[in-house]
Structure 1
Amino acid sequence: MPVTAQTGLAPAAAPLSVDGIFGPGAVRTESVRESRWGKDGESYLALENAAKGGQDIVRYRIADGSRSVVVAATDLVPPGADRPLDIDGYEWSPDDRWLLIQTNGKAFRRTRALADYWLFDRTTRTLHRVGGEAAPSTTLYATISPDSRRIAYINKNNIYVEPIQGGAATPLTRDGDDYIVNGLADWVYEEEFSIHRAFEWSPDSTRIAFFRFDTRGVGTFDMIKNTGGQYSKVIPLQYPKAGTTNSAVTVGTIDVADGKTRWFRLDGDPRQNYVPQMSWAGGSDAVFIQQSNRLQNTYKVLLGDPATGAVRPVMTEKDAAWVEANAAPEWLEGGRRFTWLSERDGWRHLYTIDRATGRATLRTPGKFDVVEVLSIDEKSGHAWFIASPDNPTQRYLYRTTLSGRPRVERLTPADQPGTHSYDIAPGEHWALHTVSRFDTPPATDMLDMTRQQPLRTLAANAPLAKLVQDSGLPATEFFRVDIGGGTQLDGWLIKPPGFDPTKRYPILYFVYGEPWGQTVADRWMGSQGLWHRMLAQKGYLVASLDPRGTASPRGHDWRKIIYRQVGILASADYAAGVRAMLATRPYIDPDRIGIWGWSGGGAMTQNALFRYPDLYRTGIAVAGPTDMKLYDTVYQERYMGLPQDNAEGYKNGSPITFADRLKGNLLLIHGTLDDNVHYQNQDQLVDRLIHFNKPFSMMAYPDRSHGIYEGENTSIHLYSLMTRYLETNLPPGAR
C-alpha cells in the first residue's frame, strides 16, 4: 500500500527541540495512506496523486504487488473545469458502476463532511453533481442505496433522495430547521456516542431508518470569534450541560416510495432517555435499537417493526455504575443471532445473543477484557479481537469460535511484544498490521494471516527509530507501584541520559486519569512522546501513572470503582502513587515534582495541585474542565450521576472547589473557541483564583479549538511555552 506522512521529528545528532518535533522541517512518520480492501480480499484500492492534479484510484494485487488504474484523475474533471476533483473520500455503489466522490470538504464539528458530492458513471465515463447546485454545497453524508439506484443525503437538516443517474431531488423530511434536525446527530450525540450520519438505508432500499433531534430547550452556549475582522462574531452552540435539558430524540423509518414516516414507540420521555445506536437488524424487516435511560445504567435492546412502529424487547443490560453502548452488531444464522459485548461477568467479553429469546452465550471466557472486535466471519466460524490478558499496557490479536465450545487462541506470536493493530481483509487471508512500542516507532506490513508472517514491509520508520536510538536515553521503564490495599498502578518512567541514581532529579508526571483514556501504554506516543524525550534530555524524569477508573483492560471493577467520584478517587490514587515512588526511588527530588495533562488530564492536574498542594510544585493544565457542571450531559452524568442526585460528588470532584488551596506554580492554557471544554471553564477558574489572590499564569489561544492546533506555528508556540515554564518553575538537572 502507498505511504503518506505525518509530522514527526527532524533527524539530527543534536538534542531534540520543539521546532524539530513540531516544525516544518521535521522528519515525517510514515504510515499507510488511506486505502480499502477489494471485495475479493486479494487486492486493495488506494488513492495516489496524479501528475496533473487530483488522484488516481489504483488497485494493487496483494500477492505480487501488481498495480492497475481503476479510475484515472483525468476522468474526474467536472464540466467546465480545468482540473480534476480532489478526493476527500469516496464510496463505490454495490454494483461497482458508480463512484461517489466527496470533495471540497469544510469543517463540520469533528469532520469535514460538509462537502460537494459528485457521481462518476464508470459505464459512460461521465460525471455529475449530487444535488445539482452551482454554489458550494450544504450537503452532508451522501450515501448510495444498496440497490445502486438512489443517493440519500442531508441538506439543511432534512433528508433528501435523488436518482443516482441524476434528476430532481425529493425531500423525505420537511420540518428541518435551526432546531429540528433529521438524519444528523446533535453535538452531544456526535461527541459522546460517535454518531455522525444518523440515517441508514434498509438492505432492500425501500426505507431509510433515521434519528430526529428536537433541540428546542437545549441550552445555547455562545462562543466568540475575535480574529476574523473589525467586529467579533458570535458562534452559537446548542450544548446540554450536566443536569440540563437534552434534545428530544426519536427514531423512525421513511418509506422512500411514498414518503410516509413511522415512528418507533419507545417508552419514556425522549429527553430523559438516549438512543446511542440504531441499525437494521440483519435484514429489512426490523430495526435494531439500543435505548438507554438518562443515567446510562440500563440499556434496552429492542427490535422495531418498520411497518407499524411497534417495538419488541430482546434483552436488557444493567450495571450498578454505567453500561457502554455497543457498535452495530454482526448478524449470524440469517439474522437469528447477533454479537454483543458485555461486562456482566466482571470482564468485557464477546457474546452471541439469540434474537428470539435474548439468551446470551459467552464466546471469550476468561479473566481478561476484549478491547476491540475486529472481524466476524460466519463462514469460517471465527471472531478476531484485540486483548492482552497478561499485560494491560499491550495489545495482541486473538481468535475465538462462534459456535460450539469456545476456543480462544492468541495469534500474535509470543516473541512480538508491544501494541499491535490489524485491518483485516475479507476472507481473513491478509491484514494490514502495525506494531509499535513506547521506544519503537510504528512499523506496518502486509501480513499473511494464515501463517502470521509479513509478506512485505510498507512503512518502516527507520529515521525515527534511529532518532530514538541516538537520543542517549535509557530504555523506558514500565513498572507497577503499590499504593496499598492490594492496589497496584501501572506506570512508565523515562530517565535522562547518563542517569545517576545517587543524585536527585525533577520529575514531571503526564496525567489523564478519567474513564475515557489510558496513558500507560506500550505504544509509540508520537510527537507528544518525543517532547517528553526532549525534556528527559534536558535532565527531567518523565513519568505517567494510570489510577483506578482509567480505561485499562483490567476488568469491570477497576474501571467502574470511579463511579460518582471522578476527580476524587483518581487524584487520591495519583498522589498515593507519587508518594510510593518517592519512598522507593530516592533519586526523585521531592521539591521538584511537576504534573501536566490535557482535557481530562488538565482537570486532574488542577485537582492534583489544589487537593495535594504540598506534594506538587508545578503544574500545566491544558483545556481542562474546572467545574463538572460545565461539561456535557452524556459524559458527565454517565460517570457521576445527575448533579441534583450527587451534589457533593460534583462539588468535590471539581477542581474549582479547591482553588483556595493552591501553593505551587500553575499554568492554565485554553483555546477560546473550544466547543468541547468551553473557554468558560478557564475564565471561571481564573476568576476564582483572583478572588483568593492566588498567583498563577495563563495563556489563551485565540479562536483555537480543544486540540489547539489551528493556525501557523500554534503547536510550536504551545510546546515552547510549556518548555520554558517548566525550565523556569521546575528547574531541570541532577542535584
Structure 2
Amino acid sequence: MRKVCFLLAAILISASIFAQTLNLRDITDGKYRAKGIPSAVSSVDGEFYFQADQARTKIIKYSYKTGQAVETVFDIQSARDCTILSFQGFIMSPDENRLIVYTNSEPIFRHSFKADYYYFDIRRNLIRKLTDNKSKQMAPVFSRDGRMLAYVCENNIWLSKFDFGTESQITKDGEVGKIINGATDWVYEEEFGVTQLMDFSPDNKLLSFIRFDETNVPEFAFQNFRQQLYPDFISFKYPKAGEANSKVTCNIFDIESKTIRPINFPANTEFEYIPKIVFTPTSQLAVMTLNRNQNDFNMYFADPRSTIAKLIMREQNDRYINYDFFNSINFIGDQFTYISEKDGYSHIYMYSLTGVPQKQLTSGNYDVMEVLACDPISKTVYYQAAEESPLQRAIYKVDIVKGVKTKLSTKTGYNTASFSANGKYFINNWSNTENPTVITMNDAAGKELRVLEDNKELKSNLASLRLPKKEFITVKGADGTSLNAWILKPANFNPNQKYPLLMVQYSGPDSQEVLDRFTIDWTDYLTTQNFIVAAVDGRGTGARGQEFRKCTYMNLGIKESDDQIAAARYFGTLPYIDASNISIWGWSYGGYNVLMSLSRGNGVFKSGIAIAPVTNWRFYDSVYTERYMRTPQQNASGYEKGSPISLASSLSGKLLLIHGSADDNVHFQNTIEYTSALIKADKQFELFVFPDQNHSLPGSLNRNYLYTKVIDFLKFK
C-alpha cells in the first residue's frame, strides 16, 4: 500500500513538473498560432497549382492530384539577368507563360500597397524590371491572353505590351487627392474590400476601369510624431457619414485606337457606388452599382463597343444589401449565380443572362456564407454554409440542373475552402475549439487526398498545458431572444468559489465571436489569473438570418448593449460569478459597445476596457455607417441615441480607454471628443495612447504591453 502511495505521489510530482502554464508573451509572440501553408495559385485547367518556396526564391508548379512538383517555373538563382535576392509575392498570367513578382512593398492603407514589380518570361527564362518609372507600381492586372499588363502608378493607368517590350500611359489626369484611375480610394478599400477596379475584355482589345474623382471629398489629417523635432502630418481623403463621396465613372479604353469612352447608363440612372466590374464570357461588361443608402443594387450589362448599358438585375431591400453578395456572382455559360436574402436567409439563386430568375439552389433556415467556385462542365456550384449551426461552417456542392446537394467537408467545426479553377480540387482548412487547424487536399467529391498541415507539434505542445475548455451555452437577450455564447473557466475551477468575470465582445453587424474554431488568445491567459471569461453574440450578429442580423438597423448600439447588459445580469446570478466584479471589453465596434453598455447598464459592470472605439457615428466613414444608419441628415435621432458622447454623463463603472494616435480607420478624434465629454460630465477615467500606431496596434511588443495593461487594470481596479 505504501509503495502505491509513493508511486502515486511520484506521478503527481512528475505531472506538476512537466505541466506548463500559459505565458502571455508566448501568446502575443505567436507560439500557439496554428501553421498555415503558402498561398496556392490554381492553373487555368484546375489540375495544377503554383506556390512560392519558403525562402521566396522559387515558384514551383505542383499537381493537385499527387502533390508532386512538376516543374520549377521561376528560380532567382537561374533566371537570366536577375538582380533580386527574393520576392514577396507573385501573379501568374492566364496563359501561364509569364508572371510578375514584386519586392520592396510599401503599405498604403490596410490592404493596398505599391512595390517594385518585375516581369518574367517563363519560356525565355528572362526577368526584367516592369517599368523604368521611378515611382513604385500597384494594382497589376494581366490581359486574358497574358501578353499585356495594366497597372497603376501615381494614380494613372499604364499598359505594358510584352511582345513589343513597350509601355504606354493610358490616363494622364491622375493626381493625389483628386483623381484615381484603376485603383480605389480609402473607403472602397476599407468597406468594399477592393483595391483595384480594372478588367480586360475576353478578346484582349479593351480595358475597363473605374475613375474616382475625390476632389470634393473632405480631407482628414493626423500628426505623425516619429521622434521628430517638428512632427509632420499624414492626410488623406476620408468621407465621413453624410459627407461627399468620390464621384465614380466607368470607362472603356480601346487599346488599338487609344481612346477612352464612358459607359452610358439608361436615362435617370442614379447610383453612388460601383464596387465591382467584370467582363462576362459573352464579352459584355457587367457593372454593379449601389445607391447611397445601399438598399438598391443594380447590375448592368454594357456593350463595350457602343458603351450602351442596360439593366439586367435589380434587388432592393427595405434595410440594406450585403455588399459581399457581389462576389457571389459567377457566370456559368448562359447563367449566373447570386446570393440573396429574399426568403429571410442568404441563399444561392440562378439567373439567366437576361436577368430572369430561374431557380433557388439552396433553401432552409440557415445562411449560405459564400459561393466558393463554379464548374461550368459539371454544372456544379461549391459553397460554404452555416447549415448545421451558426457556430460552425461546412463546405457543400449543389448540382445546378438536378438541385442535388452534397456535403463535402467531413469534420464538424469550422471549415473554409480554397478551390482550384472550375472546382476540380480544394484545399480545406478545418479546426474546432479543441483542435488546431488541419489543412487537407481534397478532390471535387470531398475525398481527402493528403494532409498538407496537421499542426501535430502545436497540438502536442497544447496537451502539456493546463488550458481552459471553452463551453458553448445560450443566454437570454434583453427581449428574451436566445443568444449564443461561450464561457472559459480556470483550469482549476472551483464551483464553490466566486470569480470575477470579463465579457469580451465585438457585436458589430453580421459579426461573430462565438464560433467553434481554434484560437489561443490573451483571454486564455486571463483564466490563469483566476478570471472567468465569456462572450455573447447579441442581436445584430451573423449567421442567424436576415431579421436577426438587421434588427439593429438605424439604431446602432441600443440592442447590442441591451443584450450585453442582460447577459451580465444573468451571469451575475450564477453561484460561481462575483456579480459585483463583472467587466466588459471590446475593440473597435466592440469598444463602442463597451461605452454604450457602461452608460446604459445602470451599474451592472464594475469596469470596461474600450480600445479604438467609435464614439459618434458622424466621425466614421460614409459607406459603413450609412449602410446601417443612413446619413446623419436622414437619421439624426439614431445618431444621437447611439452616441457614447451623448451618454457620457450616464457612464457607470471604471473605464480604461486605449487608442493609437495614428489610427486611419477609427480616428483618434473619437477618443479625444469622448474625453472632452467625460471631463464636462465630471467622470473619472483612465486613458492610454499608443503613439504613432494604427487601428490594429500591431506587433508582439505592442500586444504584450496592451494586454498586460488591460489585465493589471482588471486585477487592481
Normalized against structure 1, the TM-score is what? 0.91
Secondary structure of 1:75 counterpart: coil
Residue segments in structure 2 that go unaligned for 5+ positions in a row: 1-16
The CA deviation at 1:148 is 2.4
Q: How does 1:149-160 map to 2 (within 5 A)?
A: 149-160=147-158
Alpha carbons 1:613, 1:664 under 8 Å: kept: no
The CA deviation at 1:509 is 0.7
Alpha carbons 2:73, 2:122 under 8 Å: kept: no
Q: Residue in 2 aligned with 1:577?
A: 567
Q: How does 1:297-308 map to 2 (within 5 A)?
A: 297-308=295-306
For residues 102 and 402 of structure 1, the distance between their equivalents in structure 2, rounded to whole angstroms, comes to 40
Q: How does 1:170-319 map to 2 (within 5 A)?
A: 170-178=168-176, 179-266=178-265, 273-284=272-283, 286-319=284-317
Matched, 1:411 2:405: no
For residues 588 and 185 of structure 1, the distance between their equivalents in structure 2, rounded to whole angstroms, comes to 49
For residues 703 and 91 of structure 1, the distance between their equivalents in structure 2, rounded to whole angstroms, comes to 33
Q: Residue in 2 aligned with 1:733?
A: none
Q: Residue in 2 aligned with 1:510?
A: 504
Q: Residue in 1 aligned with 2:528?
A: 537
Secondary structure of 1:669 counterpart: strand
Alpha carbons 2:80, 2:125 under 8 Å: kept: no
Q: Residue in 2 aligned with 1:6?
A: none
For residues 449 and 555 of structure 1, the distance between their equivalents in structure 2, rounded to whole angstroms, comes to 28
The CA deviation at 1:210 is 0.8
Matched length: 698
The CA deviation at 1:360 is 4.4
Q: 1:492-527 deviations in whole A, cap 9, x for unaligned? A: 0011122122221111111111104211111123xx
For residues 316 and 666 of structure 1, the distance between their equivalents in structure 2, rounded to whole angstroms, comes to 47
**Structure 1 residue aligned with 2:20, among 14, 22, 30?**
14
Q: Residue in 2 aligned with 1:621?
A: 610
Cα 1:261/1:458, change in 2 over 3 Å = same
Matched, 1:642 2:641: no
For residues 115 and 79 of structure 2, the distance between their equivalents in structure 1, rounded to whole angstroms, comes to 16
For residues 271 and 724 of structure 1, the distance between their equivalents in structure 2, rounded to whole angstroms, comes to 54
Alpha carbons 2:648, 2:678 under 8 Å: kept: yes
The CA deviation at 1:15 is 2.2
**Structure 2 residue aligned with 1:558, among 543, 548, 563?**
548
Matched, 1:604 2:593: yes
Secondary structure of 1:684 counterpart: helix
Q: 1:262-298 deviations in whole A, cap 9, x for unaligned? A: 21234699996211222112232x2112221111111
Alpha carbons 1:88, 1:102 under 8 Å: kept: yes
Q: Residue in 1 aligned with 2:68?
A: 66
For residues 13 and 72 of structure 1, the distance between their equivalents in structure 2, rounded to whole angstroms, comes to 46
Alpha carbons 2:280, 2:331 under 8 Å: kept: no
Residue segments in structure 1 that go unaligned for 5+ positions in a row: 1-10, 730-735
**Structure 2 residue aligned with 1:587, among 539, 554, 576?**
576
For residues 328 and 531 of structure 1, the distance between their equivalents in structure 2, rounded to whole angstroms, comes to 34
Q: Residue in 1 aligned with 2:113?
A: 113
**More displaced stretch, 144-153 vs 60-69:** 60-69
**More displaced stretch, 175-184 vs 482-491:** 482-491
For residues 507 and 271 of structure 1, the distance between their equivalents in structure 2, rounded to whole angstroms, comes to 51
The CA deviation at 1:653 is 0.9
The CA deviation at 1:475 is 2.5
Identity level (%): 32
Q: How does 1:350-429 map to 2 (within 5 A)?
A: 350-404=348-402, 406-413=403-410, 416-426=411-421, 428-429=423-424
The CA deviation at 1:685 is 0.8
Q: Residue in 2 aligned with 1:715?
A: 703
Secondary structure of 2:145 counterpart: coil
Alpha carbons 2:472, 2:486 under 8 Å: kept: yes
**Structure 2 residue aligned with 1:456, among 450, 453, 458?**
450
Q: 1:283-325 deviations in whole A, cap 9, x for unaligned? A: 32x2112221111111112112222332211121111110122
**Structure 1 residue aligned with 2:539, among 539, 542, 548?**
548
Cα 1:485/1:625, change in 2 over 3 Å = closer
The one-letter code matched in structure 2 to 1:180 is: I
Q: How does 1:468-483 map to 2 (within 5 A)?
A: 468-483=462-477
RMSD: 2.2
The CA deviation at 1:367 is 1.9
Secondary structure of 1:131 counterpart: coil
Alpha carbons 1:330, 1:376 under 8 Å: kept: no
Cα 1:61/1:190, change in 2 over 3 Å = same
Secondary structure of 2:646 counterpart: helix
Q: 1:431-464 deviations in whole A, cap 9, x for unaligned? A: 21111112322111223443x4433322222343
Cα 1:274/1:138, change in 2 over 3 Å = same
For residues 656 and 197 of structure 1, the distance between their equivalents in structure 2, rounded to whole angstroms, comes to 36
Secondary structure of 2:107 counterpart: strand
The CA deviation at 1:613 is 3.9
For residues 142 and 62 of structure 1, the distance between their equivalents in structure 2, rounded to whole angstroms, comes to 27
**Structure 2 residue aligned with 1:164, among 156, 162, 168?**
162
For residues 51 and 99 of structure 2, the distance between their equivalents in structure 1, rounded to whole angstroms, comes to 14
Alpha carbons 1:30, 1:459 under 8 Å: kept: yes
Q: Residue in 1 aligned with 2:7?
A: none
Matched, 1:432 2:400: no
For residues 228 and 266 of structure 2, the distance between their equivalents in structure 1, rounded to whole angstroms, comes to 49
Cα 1:562/1:106, change in 2 over 3 Å = same
Q: Residue in 2 aligned with 1:732?
A: none
Q: How does 1:311-350 map to 2 (within 5 A)?
A: 311-325=309-323, 326-328=325-327, 331-332=330-331, 334=333, 336-350=334-348
For residues 40 and 169 of structure 1, the distance between their equivalents in structure 2, rounded to whole angstroms, comes to 30
Matched, 1:47 2:47: no
Secondary structure of 1:154 counterpart: strand
For residues 549 and 71 of structure 1, the distance between their equivalents in structure 2, rounded to whole angstroms, comes to 48
Alpha carbons 2:490, 2:528 under 8 Å: kept: yes
The one-letter code matched in structure 1 to 2:245 is: N
Cα 1:721/1:355, change in 2 over 3 Å = same
**More displaced stretch, 560-569 vs 306-315:** 306-315
The one-letter code matched in structure 2 to 1:535 is: L
Q: 1:139-196 deviations in whole A, cap 9, x for unaligned? A: 1122221122222111111111121146442111111112011111111111111121
**Structure 1 residue aligned with 2:483, among 483, 489, 502?**
489
For residues 224 and 400 of structure 1, the distance between their equivalents in structure 2, rounded to whole angstroms, comes to 53
The CA deviation at 1:714 is 1.5
Normalized against structure 2, the TM-score is what? 0.93
For residues 480 and 500 of structure 2, the distance between their equivalents in structure 1, rounded to whole angstroms, comes to 28
Q: 1:671-719 deviations in whole A, cap 9, x for unaligned? A: 1111110011111111111112211111111111111115x72122112
